[in-house]
Amino acid sequence: MSAAMVIVGAGLGGARLVADLRNEGYEGELILIGKEARIPYDRPPLSKAVLTGDKDDVDLQPQEFYTEKDVDLRTGMCVTSIDPDAHTVTVEPVEGGEAETVAYSTLILATGLDPRSLPFAAGKSGVHTLRTYDDAMALRSEIEGASTAVVIGAGFIGCEVAASLSTKGLEVTVVEPALAPLAIALGEQVGTMVGRIHADRGVQIRTGVGVTGITGEDKVTGVTLADGTELPADIVVLGIGSTPVVDYLEGSGIALADREFGGGIACDEVGRTSAPDVYAIGDVANWRDEHGVPSRVEHWNNVVEQAAKVAYAILGVDESNARPFVPYFWSDQFEVKVQALGHPSAGDDVHVISDDGTKFVVYYSRDGVFTAVVGAGKAGAVMKMRAKLLEKTPISELLG
């Protein structure tokens, strides 16, 4: 009997991949190994409805799904090393216990990210990062007794957490060293437009200033800024980015991508790594894009797309009839849904199509070609641009 197909990481990528493999007719043994004790769940609600207390159940599939699909789901188990020559992984129970060697025919790595911390944040209660369900619950449990919060970092997670904490009645300040929220993802002009949504609802946004320390002995009391300001805080949330989880690859010889291109596991355009029969998907994976450029993406739709592509590649399914992929992500901040279709880039030209102070639509272009549309509260106007993005439409045609 041939060895099992083994997937490391029981998050969105792992859960989607097992479903895709079964849907495409794979009948062999499937092992899904996950470090967390929970069955695979969805992360986007963690910074939104879970934090505000409006949602508790975020499981991607009910437990029975894995039984019905004959998936050997092993939660609370951590893969600690890989031997590509022997086609085996070492698996250890997170709670301690004996390590086991598991053989694979094909191995797919979907181990996601770990949130970054700050050296001076260590060991202080009231300081949080947000990646897991447990992280969200730990933060949620402190909201009731708190009146002030400082969010460090105005990326998507920082902005969403700020909106959720503000919705719960906390006085929230977001501190961001760049000149606008979301400046890296959307550029300064559009980031500033998103920042207005927060400012209008009472969130203080302090841009262009770094954090120098977190005050308080055991429990946080505030945050000090490079300009000498001290902000009081019962809660501090670090939203300063994440790093790919690749520690278990040490000694495996599996190549990593350059940090300049986002790091993570280096893959070709269908997710193959440098080791035979080993693929990587999701936030941890650095795939080559259609121009051969390595890039790592940290958005939900990208994971779903990569899981499907890898299933096709492994099973040899012809995907020439598949709907062409256009990158998409969304972010809910207060009642406003910010959406992006295409590849918005901070260096692109920005064209404001409409803007009423909260809701807006913006087109991006590079070298005269339409590259992305970003909207706030404008789902229809964003989604209808899909074909124009695929056609690489000259921006002049759209600006009329």
Ligand X SMILES: Cc1cc2nc3c(=O)[nH]c(=O)nc-3n(C[C@H](O)[C@H](O)[C@H](O)COP(=O)(O)OP(=O)(O)OC[C@H]3O[C@@H](n4cnc5c(N)ncnc54)[C@H](O)[C@@H]3O)c2cc1C
Q: Residue 218: in which H helix or E strand, if any?
A: none
Of 33-41, 173-181, 344-352, 358-366, the segment contacting ligand X by CB under 6 A is 33-41
Longest CA–CA span in the chain (Å) reads: 67
Query: Residue 374 CB, nearest distance to ligand X (Å)?
Result: 13
Instruction: Out of 19, 39, 71, 130, name the contact with ligand X by CB under 6 A.
Output: 130
If one asks whether residue 44 binds ligand X (CB under 6 A), the answer comes out as: yes
Residues β-bridged to residue 73: 32
Instruction: Out of 133, 329, 334, 363, name the contact with ligand X by CB under 6 A.
Output: 329
If one asks whether residue 337 binds ligand X (CB under 6 A), the answer comes out as: no
If one asks whether residue 19 binds ligand X (CB under 6 A), the answer comes out as: no
Instruction: Out of 33, 150, 182, 361, name the contact with ligand X by CB under 6 A.
Output: 33
Query: Residue 271 CB, nearest distance to ligand X (Å)?
Result: 12
Nearest residue to ligand X, scored by beta-carbon proximity: 11
For the four alpha carbons of 182, 188, 189 and 195, in that order, the dihedral sign comes to positive
For the four alpha carbons of 118, 122, 126 and 128, in that order, the dihedral sign comes to positive
| Closest to 249 (Cα-Cα) out of 283, 282, 274 | 274
For the four alpha carbons of 267, 273, 278 and 283, in that order, the dihedral sign comes to negative
Residues 157-186 that bind ligand X (CB under 6 A): 157
If one asks whether residue 111 binds ligand X (CB under 6 A), the answer comes out as: yes
If one asks whether residue 267 binds ligand X (CB under 6 A), the answer comes out as: no
Of 168-176, 254-262, 325-333, 354-362, the segment contacting ligand X by CB under 6 A is 325-333
Provide the 3-class DSSP secondary structure of residue 122: coil
Helix 12-23 / helix 300-315 crossing angle, nearest 10 deg:
40
If one asks whether residue 11 binds ligand X (CB under 6 A), the answer comes out as: yes
> What is the number of other CB atoms lying within 10 angstroms of the CB of residue 54?
11
If one asks whether residue 32 binds ligand X (CB under 6 A), the answer comes out as: no
If one asks whether residue 9 binds ligand X (CB under 6 A), the answer comes out as: yes
Of 140-148, 280-288, 312-320, 346-354, the segment contacting ligand X by CB under 6 A is 280-288
If one asks whether residue 153 binds ligand X (CB under 6 A), the answer comes out as: no
Give the residue with the Cβ less far from ligand X, 233 or 246: 246
Give the residue with the Cβ less far from ligand X, 8 or 225: 8
Alpha carbons 104 and 89: distance in angstroms, whole number: 8
| Closest to 108 (Cα-Cα) out of 36, 44, 30, 40 | 30
One-letter amino acid identity for 223?
Answer: V
Q: Residue 22: in which H helix or E strand, if any?
A: helix 12-23
Alpha carbons 244 and 131: distance in angstroms, whole number: 12
Give the residue with the Cβ less far from ligand X, 309 or 395: 309
Give the residue with the Cβ less far from ligand X, 247 or 349: 247
If one asks whether residue 109 binds ligand X (CB under 6 A), the answer comes out as: no
Give the residue with the Cβ less far from ligand X, 61 or 395: 61
Residues 6+ apart with CB under 8 A from 153: 174, 175, 176, 238, 239, 240, 241
Instruction: Out of 261, 300, 312, 325, name the contact with ligand X by CB under 6 A.
Output: 300
| Closest to 285 (Cα-Cα) out of 63, 53, 57, 7 | 7
If one asks whether residue 43 binds ligand X (CB under 6 A), the answer comes out as: yes
Alpha carbons 347 and 185: distance in angstroms, whole number: 10
Which stretches of the chain bind ligand X, using CB under 6 A? 8-14, 33-36, 43-44, 46-47, 78-79, 110-113, 130-131, 157, 245, 248, 282-284, 298-301, 303, 329-331
